[in-house]
């Protein structure tokens, strides 16, 4: 109970100081939910309090959920990492993308990282953004230097998953991840009712005019579909998903095998890649933030406003953290760092 109080104090102090507007923290360990905490408000006007069921826009945190979905299909023998994308995605083999593999997609080496020319509204219309990817021209060598696919990774991975399996993306997500774990607060495309009643909107009060993160308050974004960046979740569901990826999983449910997780959490590098001191250390789909020499110990994904979800193979912790205030120090987040200190975990930059 003492640890719960310390963690709640971290959240409350961050809200009181103005560092955060609203936030949630959920902590699993060895498959058991230890803490499910919340603090603060859904908007900067502070008229409605956050609770543990509030939905937060989590930006790129959704990429880790898409990765988990695709890896589960890998466990089912439905594809191999070195299969060509075009084996499943007919029409993709144009404009220099002919030799793109699923491994290239998962390691952010598919070349489709530049969304210049794509209308903003089309980014969140599934059929349109998938077509853009199909017809897209790579911005660099396929399989070469790592380029973070900020607004396209979830589209490539999510559409591949549905083409490989045959079920639509949302049906796959429900039947392969949400239902087995009894998750009810993970969405790519929220309802109008949730949008109006259960969202912690992005507080962009200190954002610069060119900052696009406050645009994610629009229903056209949160109600659309682009799992690269438009997911809405709560911390408890996020932590539970990651808890199901290590050890014995949760309540006997382990979503992805240890063998596949081990392969997915080996760091992928190419001779052209930047220095490893940078934040973008990736395996296959997951960002890796373990200590030097053991990068794959901690894996998951962070988001542009500071949310994160990850699992730690060594300690058995699985963490979900959500927040809704733009922080000028991103990707460094003081609240996350204080939580890490309390739990005895290394700090994460992602």
What tens digit of pLDDT does each residue of 14-31 get? 999 999 999 999 999 999
| Average pLDDT, integer, range 306-332 | 96
User: Between β-strands 308-312 and 317-323, what pairing exists: parallel, antiparallel or unpaired?
Assistant: antiparallel
Residues in contact with 66: Cβ distance below 8 Å, sequence separation at least 6, in sequence order:
153, 154, 157, 158, 161, 227, 228, 285
pLDDT at 129: 98
Q: How is residue 265 annotated by DSSP? A: T
Cα–Cα distance measured from residue 36 to residue 4, given in angstroms and rounded to the nearest whole number: 9
Does position 228 have pLDDT exceeding 80, yes or no? yes
What tens digit of pLDDT does each residue of 135-177 get? 999 999 999 999 999 999 999 999 999 999 999 999 999 999 9
Measured over the CA atoms of residue 73, residue 77, residue 81 and residue 85, the dihedral's sign is negative
Cα–Cα distance measured from residue 202 to residue 59, given in angstroms and rounded to the nearest whole number: 11
pLDDT band at 262 (very low <50, low <70, confident <90, very high): very high
pLDDT band at 269 (very low <50, low <70, confident <90, very high): confident
| Average pLDDT, integer, range 226-235 | 98
| Average pLDDT, integer, range 251-278 | 90
Domain boundaries, the chain: 2-343
Cα–Cα distance measured from residue 61 to residue 68, given in angstroms and rounded to the nearest whole number: 12
Q: How far is CA 75 from CA 162, 254, 259, in A?
A: 15, 11, 9
Does position 57 have pLDDT exceeding 80, yes or no? yes
Measured over the CA atoms of residue 61, residue 169, residue 223 and residue 48, the dihedral's sign is negative
C-alpha neighbours within 13 Å on the C-beta side of residue 155: 27
| Average pLDDT, integer, range 37-49 | 98
pLDDT band at 237 (very low <50, low <70, confident <90, very high): very high
Lowest-confidence pick of 35-39, 169-173, 293-297: 293-297
Cα–Cα distance measured from residue 102 to residue 222, given in angstroms and rounded to the nearest whole number: 27
Nearest to 308 by CA among 108, 29, 7, 62: 62
pLDDT at 1: 62
Cα–Cα distance measured from residue 223 to residue 217, given in angstroms and rounded to the nearest whole number: 10
| Average pLDDT, integer, range 198-209 | 96
Cα–Cα distance measured from residue 334 to residue 26, given in angstroms and rounded to the nearest whole number: 17
Cβ atoms 139, 114 nearer than 8 A = yes
% the chain with pLDDT above 70: 99
Does position 42 have pLDDT exceeding 70, yes or no? yes
- Global pTM value: 0.97
> Cα 259–264–267 angle (5° rounding)?
125
Cβ atoms 299, 310 nearer than 8 A = yes
pLDDT at 275: 75
Query: What CATH architecture does domain 2-343 belong to?
Result: 3-Layer(aba) Sandwich (3.40)
What tens digit of pLDDT does each residue of 86-109 get? 999 999 999 999 999 999 999 999
pLDDT band at 291 (very low <50, low <70, confident <90, very high): confident
pLDDT at 23: 98
Does position 203 have pLDDT exceeding 80, yes or no? yes
> Cα 152–153–155 angle (5° rounding)?
65
Cα–Cα distance measured from residue 275 to residue 178, given in angstroms and rounded to the nearest whole number: 37
pLDDT at 107: 96
Name the H helices within the chain: 2-17, 61-75, 102-106, 126-135, 153-165, 169-173, 179-181, 192-197, 219-222, 235-243, 258-264, 334-343
In angstroms, how far is the first alpha carbon of the chain from the final one? 30
Assigned token pair, 181 = 């774990």
Left, alpha or beta for 49 (phi > 0: left; psi -120 to 50: alpha)? beta
Q: For the purposes of burial, counting CB atoms within 10 Å of the CB of 209, is it exposed (0-12), middle (13-18) or buried (19 or more)?
A: exposed
Cα–Cα distance measured from residue 112 to residue 102, given in angstroms and rounded to the nearest whole number: 13
Cα–Cα distance measured from residue 256 to residue 244, given in angstroms and rounded to the nearest whole number: 8
Lowest-confidence pick of 63-72, 116-125, 285-294: 285-294
Respond yes or no on whether the N-terminal peptide bond of residue 331 is cis (omega within 30° of 0). yes
Cα–Cα distance measured from residue 58 to residue 308, given in angstroms and rounded to the nearest whole number: 8
Largest CA distance in the chain: 59
pLDDT at 328: 86
pLDDT at 280: 80
């Amino acid at each position: 109970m003492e640890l719960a109080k310390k963690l709640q104090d971290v959240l409350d102090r961050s809200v009181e100081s103005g560092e955060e507007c609203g936030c949630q923290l959920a902590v699993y360990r060895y498959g058991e939910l230890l803490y499910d905490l919340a603090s603060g408000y859904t908007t900067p006007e502070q008229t409605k309090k956050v609770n543990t069921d509030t939905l937060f826009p989590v930006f790129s945190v959704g990429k880790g959920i898409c990765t988990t979905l695709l890896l589960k299909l890998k466990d089912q023998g439905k594809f191999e990492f070195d299969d060509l994308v075009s084996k499943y995605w007919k029409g993709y083999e144009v404009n220099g993308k002919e030799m793109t593999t699923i491994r290239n997609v998962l390691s952010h080496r598919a070349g489709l990282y530049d969304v210049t020319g794509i209308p903003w509204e089309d980014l969140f219309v599934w059929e349109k953004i998938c077509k853009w990817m199909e017809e897209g021209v790579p911005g660099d060598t396929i399989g070469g230097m790592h380029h973070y696919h900020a607004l396209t990774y979830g589209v490539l991975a999510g559409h591949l998953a549905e083409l490989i399996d045959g079920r639509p993306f949302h049906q796959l997500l429900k039947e392969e991840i949400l239902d087995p774990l009894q998750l009810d607060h993970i969405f790519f495309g929220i309802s109008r009712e949730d949008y109006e009643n259960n969202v912690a909107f992005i507080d962009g009060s200190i954002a610069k005019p060119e900052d696009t993160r406050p645009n994610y308050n629009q229903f056209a974004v949160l109600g659309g579909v682009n799992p690269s960046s438009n997911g809405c979740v709560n911390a408890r569901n996020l932590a539970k998903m990651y808890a199901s990826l290590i050890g014995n999983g949760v309540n006997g449910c382990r979503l992805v095998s240890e063998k596949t997780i081990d392969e997915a959490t080996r760091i992928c590098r190419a001779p052209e890649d930047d220095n490893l001191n940078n934040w973008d250390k990736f395996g296959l789909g997951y960002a890796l933030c373990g200590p030097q020499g053991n990068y794959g110990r901690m894996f998951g994904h962070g988001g542009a406003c500071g949310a994160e979800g990850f699992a730690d193979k060594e300690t058995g912790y699985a963490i979900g953290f959500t927040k809704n205030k733009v922080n000028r120090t991103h990707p460094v987040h003081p609240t996350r760092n204080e939580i890490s200190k309390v739990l005895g975990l290394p700090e994460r930059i992602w």
